[in-house]
A and B are shown apart, each in its own frame.
Chain A
């Protein structure tokens, strides 16, 4: 059974401790990052669409709408760098998962 042995190989990788750690870390990061940036953005859209609370002046001529709107830029850049930094580290876990799966096969 070629397809079922192939299936076993994938499951073997999936069950390695390294892959489990990688999948868990990735899931936690992605869920919290996604909730954070969607909330950060849609609270802004919601406030601007339904209220006038952002229309007041914050700093000099800049309104709160501009302050909140401009804050989305560093938010995007920082989140992107955090993600890329973590994803590059997770590559080591993927390599470990390959090795662990291979060692599991030897036994």
Chain B
């Protein structure tokens, strides 16, 4: 429409590229600088996994937001709103409400029971290596799906933004994230998340102000313009088109809302703070930041539809992934385009770094240190294992992402959420809240959730097309696989193995009284803390 077109048929001109490359190089230098600084503080396994548990509340709040708001949020939702209208805003609402499940049900018990990984939390109750191994497998699977999605998206976006071929972009980001995680561990990753969250909020605010300035800074003006220029269908959900399609929507939302509480890279952020009070203050920061960002998404999406035009957005990417950078180019010229592109780049680097930490700590801390070495590895060995695992995970993710050019990113992300909701969430909740839960139930629940969610997706039209047995168009399995995950936990507990009581007698399970009191109160060492609280002890000092 009103957009200047470059000679190559790309929307962006050569000077756009030059400015954008300068910004990208700045982000890369910043990343390397932080890594160099953090590497001086990154000395132990605890530093590598959870930044020594010394992150401040506001820092963790920004870092949670950084982990939470992936490129799928920034580029994907803006594009979805630009092209589909309200149906895209759905995702914003789902991701926001999902945060309530995390903070109300999971955050504090996880912080009170866990140490470095999700498996640590489960093994605080079940002292068994098969629980640890199964939880590690599901962590690696979920993080891999998510990471591949981010890398595939990153490759496609950088190709469009800078003209660099897909394979080089994926390998380049892969190398950058490996340097970041191996050199700087969780300290560097946390700071990248903080900077990325600040940039993302700033970029979105600036873009939305550019849009709003055309409507006297009145958001309702944007909606009026959408109604008159695009049509009122963009302002309400699409009419229901059959039971299967409607159930698919419900299923997708179940995956979004519950799945977030099972995403390892989000959950481990609560292990980087020293105590429950700090965890809560980080929750306040994160909820406001995340909410404000999602609140802006309609302005960005509709702004792109109004100023760039839906056809021009579709011409760049059928899913609308470049709507936000296109909007920046149209309203703010090369500088704003370069800034917004760099924000997207920083977003991707930060999220993949968080994912590498989650997956590699499951590998190094859970598999290597605790299952293979039986918890006997020295501090130095653990630290080395964590770094080697980070390299291995990164290489594996790059290798898997390379042949997947053109894969549907939103689908891969939704799959990661569905697996997390089905395999992790039932076990996490029942470990905290169900006294009779036993180890057979925990393993059964995780395996049933993992197999059924991945299996249903394979049987859906997305993978096997016409031959699909599972009828949901978008292949979202959560409506069925989440109940199956809970059922697996329940039936496993009922039918399999020893009862919880006998497991306790044999030392396979920690007393539920302990797990219960600990998960609620955060008391770690009960004898000491009771003695400290005793009045006579204090007076005798």
Q: A: which residues have CB within 8 A of B? A: 3, 6-7, 9-14, 19, 22-23, 26, 30, 33-34, 37-38, 41-42, 44-46, 48-52, 54-55, 57, 60-66, 69-70, 72-73, 76-77, 79-81, 83-84, 87-88, 91, 94-95, 97-99, 101-103, 105-106
Interface check B224, CB cutoff 8 A:
yes
- Establish whether residues A23 and B520, one from each chain, have CB atoms under 8 Å apart when the complex forms: yes
**Chain B residues proximal to chain A, CB less than 8 Å:** 86, 89-90, 93-94, 96-97, 99-101, 103-105, 108, 220, 223-224, 226-227, 232, 235-237, 239-240, 246-247, 249-250, 253, 257, 276-277, 280-281, 283-284, 287-288, 291, 294-295, 507, 511, 513-514, 516-518, 520-523, 526-527, 529-537
By a CB distance below 8 angstroms, the chain A residues around B513 are 7, 10-11, 14
Which applies to chain A's interface (DSSP): helix, strand, loop or mixed?
A: helix
A26: chain B residues within 8 A (beta carbon): 520
Residue among A13, A42, A102 making CB contact with B531, cutoff 8 Å: A102
Residue contact A50 to B220, C-beta cutoff 8 Å: no
**Chain B residues closer than 8 Å to A94, beta-carbon distance:** 520-523
Closest beta carbon of chain B to A8's beta carbon, Å: 9
Contact status A13-B517, CB under 8 Å = yes
Cα A77 to Cα B511 with chains together (Å): 36
Pick from A9, A52, A101 the residue with the most CB of B within 10 Å.
A9
Tell whether, in the assembled complex, residue B223 and residue A60 are in contact, meaning their CB atoms are under 8 Å apart. yes
Chain A contacts for B86, CB-based, 8 A:
63, 65-66, 69
A-B contact pairs, 24 of them (CB 8 A): A14-B513, A34-B105, A37-B97, A41-B253, A42-B250, A45-B94, A49-B249, A52-B240, A55-B239, A61-B235, A63-B232, A69-B86, A69-B93, A72-B96, A77-B287, A77-B288, A77-B291, A84-B281, A87-B276, A87-B280, A88-B280, A98-B532, A99-B535, A105-B530
Which residues on A sit within 8 Å (CB–CB) of B249?
Answer: 45, 48-49
A63–B295 Cα distance when bound, in Å, is 16
- Bound CA–CA A13/B533 (angstroms): 12
Q: Which residue of the partner chain, among B227, B237, B511, contacts A48 with CB atoms under 8 Å? A: B237
Given A61-B220, A73-B96, A77-B291, A84–B284 Cβ distance below 8 Å?
yes
Contact present for A83 and B104 (CB under 8 Å):
yes
With A87-B276, A102-B535 as contacts: A65 and B100 at CB distance below 8 Å: no
Structural contact, A99 and B533, CB atoms closer than 8 A: yes
Cβ-defined contact, A105 with B534, below 8 A: yes
Report, nearest first, the 6 A-B pairs whose CB atoms are least far apart. Answer: A102-B534, A98-B533, A55-B236, A61-B223, A49-B249, A48-B237
Output the nearest chain B residue to A63 by Cβ-Cβ distance.
B236
Inter-chain contact A79/B100, CB cutoff 8 Å: yes
Docked-complex contact A37 and B287, CB < 8 angstroms:
no
- Which residue of A has the minimal Cβ distance to B526? A9
Residues of A within 8 A of B283 (CB): 80, 84
What is the minimal beta-carbon distance from A6 to any residue of chain B, in angstroms? 7
A52 shortest CB reach to chain B, Å: 6
Q: Which one of B103, B522, B527, B530 has the highest number of Cβ atoms from chain A below 10 Å of its Cβ?
A: B530
The answer for the CA separation of A55 and B237 in the assembled complex, in Å, is 7
Extra inter-chain contacts (16) besides given A7-B511, A38-B257, A63-B236, CB under 8 Å: A7-B514, A10-B513, A33-B104, A34-B104, A41-B93, A41-B97, A44-B93, A45-B94, A54-B237, A61-B232, A62-B220, A63-B235, A65-B237, A76-B291, A83-B103, A99-B535
